[in-house]
Chains A and B, each alone.
Chain A
Amino acid sequence: MSETTASTTVTEKVAAPEKGYIGLSVPRKEDKRLVQGQGVFFDDVRRHGMGYVHFVRSPYAHAKIVSIDVTAALALEGVYGTLTGDEVAIQTDPFFEMSVAPGNQIRDYALAVGKVRFQGEPVAAVCAATRELASDAAELVAVEYEPLDVLVDGQEALKDDVVLHDEAGTNVVWSGVFDWGDVDTALAEADHVVKIKKLHFHRFSSTPLECSGALVEYERGTGQWTLHCNHQMPGVGAIWMAPALRTGIDKLRFVTHDIGGGFGNKICLHPYYVTLCLLARKLGRPVQWTEWRTDQHLANAHGNERTFLDVEVAVKADGTMTGFKVKAVDDCGAFPRYEPLGCIIWAQVTPGCYDWRNIQVDFTQVVTNKSPVSPNRGYSRMQHLWLTERIIDIVAAELGFDPVELRKRNYVKAEQMPYETPNGCVYDSGDYARCLDIALDLVGYDSIEAKRAEAAARGKLLGVGIGSTLDSGTNNFGQSQLLNPELQFSGNNEAATVKLDIFGEVVVTLGTVPQGQGHETTSAQLVASLIGCSPDQVHVRPGHDTWFNSHAGFSGTYASQFAVTGLMAVRGAALLLRDEMVSLAAFVLGAPEEAIELSDGFARIKDGPPEAALPFMALGAIVNANNAFLPPDFNPTLNHRFVYRPYFGVVDTEKKMGKLTLTYATQIHAAVIEVDRETGVVEVVDYAAVDDCGTRIHPQIVEGQVHGATAHALGAAIHEDFVYDEDGTLLTANFYDYHVPHTLDMPPLKTGFIESPSPTNELGTKGMGEGGGAGIHAVCAAVQDALRPAGAPIVYDSCNPYWRIWEMLQDPEATRANVEVVSR
């Protein structure tokens, strides 16, 4: 079960130094520049003669574009030029669509062509000498619209009364039934069937503090574009963009340096970037665009909204659950873009943390007149995991089971690892029950009833809730073939280069595109450990550069994978370098290779005389600058690229089965909350997050990711909601109305961990950055628990701000009507 491997086997000639720097929280290499304001973010890049771009955006959610007149804008002094959808339609091809017919007939261009489909959709772009002028000129662009009926509800979209994309003729992007095991028999043989009519996972996004943007240069002589940008997945960005621009993929050079957070929200930037490429070519000057916060909320990318209908859960008398069925309606906004993959990606965690063998999911994705979505921290799995956790807590509440005991009864057990799910995924390692015990200890679960009574005396309703999740990392892109068997994507890969330079400096370039995850530091730790030097001696180039850094087709930083793909690529390259350093030292020192050890920046003869030692500088200098004495058949380069390719095998597109991802980190959270009976205001009063991501390279960085994912989850659970009115106007288009957690909103976080090393890779690591939205699930469970004495309403939405809780307090029966138990 633990079959894994890299594409190239690296023979270890020399035993690696003992753990070295692995597991130590060494100072982050990134910090020194960032705390001094010396980071380089895309908006910091300047070029002579650059113009600033402002987008003209649709005020309507759905309308025909009758005409666009740019005359007045062009007449303004300092305006360099404009671009409209008509020009885009002539100069580019629509972006490729991943779905099958008719969903793949959707025509998606960089600017709106003929019609707008969401509020904030760009219809034209203006470029001028300053940001202010560009904004002024954009206001002078006269666009005549003919408003159309608006569709903002996913279930309504299924009716096709209003159709967004005439070419497709339907709002359905993709639909399919996933059916594993035998759910009908499981339901027929169950002692209880718990039915839930509707659950709703809301729309929010991680809203990185740095908005999107780029400075784009065009070189007329070669047809080459350079994008100084913050795209977090340039490999895939180029796959979208190059065919649309009718150019070769090497004509698009992506350069990133520091990126101010990504969280998946910087994966679908290709429409904006194509516009910038066209403008740079048209105007013959560098063009710069920095998205405004309001624009980001309106028209960058939201997370998926998903409605679960007609859930039926099979439960035995002792609480053992044997499976469930559900209809899922996923609302991806106006254009699917990356999104149809979300129709599949949840299947990486089909049974959640549970040993459920019979699962049927009837999945449909639709378009609506809302912002397009993109991957967002926890992407697609989070929504599904929320469903599994809601199922557990609703079953527990309705049948009178203890939520802790019910979880433990149904969890996949440590002794079942590695565990194959009903759809062929392999949970590599973990101990969910142990993580849960640690989380419960941290919040003092034993004394929770006393705390409940104490809170009640203060007029508060106290509740405790658990969120059990898996952070599946290192995608198998073969899952795209479950969506569309014709798609030519499968597997995964990542690249790194490690070299020893002339003065003994170790230089590492990565294919990954970090946005705060500390890749420079952890890569240096690993390289230093493998070749025997200090992390300070290792220079890891910040950011990504398509021309000068190593990269592979799936390069980027997304889907919780750096700790496996990124570091395994670094490891492979470092081992190749190490072997060559050993061979070179053996040759120079006249000793057998087995006698050479690398440590403290020297190659030495083990137990040899102290003078029999070569500093790394000598090795680098010999190969690079002083190599005349090396024999003709000995050609060390001290410069190695390695591509790591996890092994998955081919997916079964008929049965929709396969190894959809490589590793599964565990996050078990416990939240203690208090609800004010009068107002519905909820406060998180105690919180514990327990993480198991296998081997931790840098514990402080891991813990930082746990904190961050928890904050995102708590924000989403209580405050953050992209709310549209019936006209398709976004009501939460800035940080006033879209409240993200501030210092005073965050409870003190307690953290714990265990390490269940992954058998899938030599480092034992697992990706863990996304978390599985555990905080959302835990808060939903805690709210439901708190409200038990107040009519026991059922928490049916993933966002529970004070007003929704107040409504549940006023009319608990309305939510209870959502649930029915059939017992035999």
Chain B
Amino acid sequence: MEPVRSMPIAVEVNGVTYERDVDARRLLVHFIRDDLELTGTHIGCDTGNCGACTVHVDGEAVKSCMLLAVQADGARIATVEGLAEDGELSALQQAFSDHHGLQCGYCTPGMLMSASYLLAQNPHPSEDEVRKALQGNICRCTGYVNIVEAVVAAGQGGAK
């Protein structure tokens, strides 16, 4: 029997439901970027190390290069595009800007998704807790100093 090479899936991304036929081998990150054209989620490695592709799947922060799109069938996904509401930056996004927590901005979507997951679990994290929560996200520009500062400040400001 021929193996199934593609299948229909339905996912909810940032509140919108998408139904698509996808290749069984298509990575979730490529599905999000290439099929749904949500290009805010980035790719920085091919080994799951860098975290630039971090999104939330059913409330959990995951690296979307480590899942196949078909595994996300039926899931509720949140990407960086869903953080701001009506064009208003979230407190966390604003803190990244205020504290110069980004330079080139390439790692930023993944950082924001990991950090917003942390804040959802632990609204007022310490610096150590922030560093532990972001250890799966690589930034090559900032040395993390201002990113960590931004997340701590967002927690102190009560960001969600």
Contacts and interface: CB of A to CB of B under 8 A. Distances in A.
Q: Are these two chains actual partners, yes or no?
A: yes
Interface in A125-155: 130-132
B20 interface: no
Interface in B95-154: 96-98, 100, 102-109, 112, 130-132, 134-148
Contacts of A31: 96-97, 102, 105
Contacts of B33: 43-44
Given A707-B142, A741-B143, A211 B47 contact: no
Given A27-B97, A46-B37, A261-B106, A35 B144 contact: no
Contacts of B130: 743
Interface stretch (A63-71, A513-521, A667-675): A513-521
Q: Is the interface of B mostly helix, strand, loop or mixed?
A: loop
Query: Which of B41, B43, B107, B148 has the most C-beta atoms of chain A within 10 angstroms of its own C-beta?
Result: B43
A618 to B, nearest CB: 30
B79 A37 contact: yes
A414 B102 CA distance: 35
A354 B138 CA distance: 36
A37 B80 CA distance: 6
A256 to B, nearest CB: 12
A206 interface: yes
Nearest to B80: A37
Interface stretch (A103-111, A478-486, A621-629, A732-740): A732-740
A259 B45 CA distance: 16
B30 A740 contact: no
B2 interface: no
Nearest to B34: A131
Interface string A32-45: 11111111110110
B93 interface: yes
Nearest to A27: B97
**Secondary structure call for the A interface:** loop
A644 B30 CA distance: 43
A28 B52 CA distance: 21
B106 A32 contact: no
B146 A704 contact: yes
B25 A36 contact: no
Contact of B102 (A35, A132, A746): A35
Interface string A716-744: 00000000000000000011100011111
B58 interface: no
Contacts of B21: none
Contact of A735 (B41, B42, B49, B112): B49
B21 to A, nearest CB: 13
Contact of B105 (A258, A292, A743, A748): A258
B133 to A, nearest CB: 8
Contacts of B138: 209, 735, 740, 742
A192 B75 CA distance: 73
A102 interface: no
Given A35-B96, A37-B109, A516 B104 contact: yes
A131 B30 contact: yes
A293 B97 CA distance: 28
A734 B40 contact: no
Contacts of B137: 742-743
B81 A740 contact: no
A515 B102 CA distance: 11
Nearest to B38: A37
Nearest to A259: B104
Given A209-B140, A294-B46, A704 B52 contact: no
A260 interface: yes
Contact of A28 (B30, B100, B135): B100
A260 B42 contact: yes
A748 B43 CA distance: 28
B39 A37 contact: yes
A711 interface: yes
B143 A30 contact: no
A210 B43 CA distance: 7
A39 B52 CA distance: 14
A749 interface: yes
Contacts of A25: 100
A711 B30 CA distance: 30
A46 B33 CA distance: 11
Contacts of B37: 46
B97 A292 contact: no
A742 B138 CA distance: 6
A39 B39 CA distance: 9
A459 interface: no
B39 A734 contact: no
A27 B95 CA distance: 11
A17 interface: no
Nearest to B93: A35
Contacts of A35: 80, 83-84, 89, 93, 96-97, 102, 105, 108, 112
A261 B142 CA distance: 11
B23 interface: yes
Given A258-B105, A516-B103, A704-B100, A293 B140 contact: no
B90 to A, nearest CB: 9
A28 B97 contact: yes
Contacts of A749: 143, 145
A171 interface: no
A710 interface: yes
A39 B105 contact: yes
Contacts of A46: 37
Given A734-B46, A742-B137, 20 more contacts: A31-B97, A34-B102, A35-B97, A35-B105, A36-B84, A36-B89, A39-B106, A40-B39, A43-B33, A130-B23, A209-B138, A261-B103, A293-B45, A704-B100, A704-B142, A707-B143, A711-B144, A712-B140, A735-B50, A743-B137
Interface of A: 25, 27-28, 30-41, 43-44, 46, 130-132, 206-211, 258-261, 263, 290, 292-294, 515-518, 700-701, 703-704, 707-708, 710-712, 734-736, 740-744, 746, 748-749
17 contacts: A35-B83, A35-B108, A36-B89, A37-B38, A37-B41, A44-B33, A209-B52, A258-B106, A261-B104, A290-B43, A516-B106, A704-B142, A711-B142, A735-B49, A743-B135, A744-B135, A746-B144
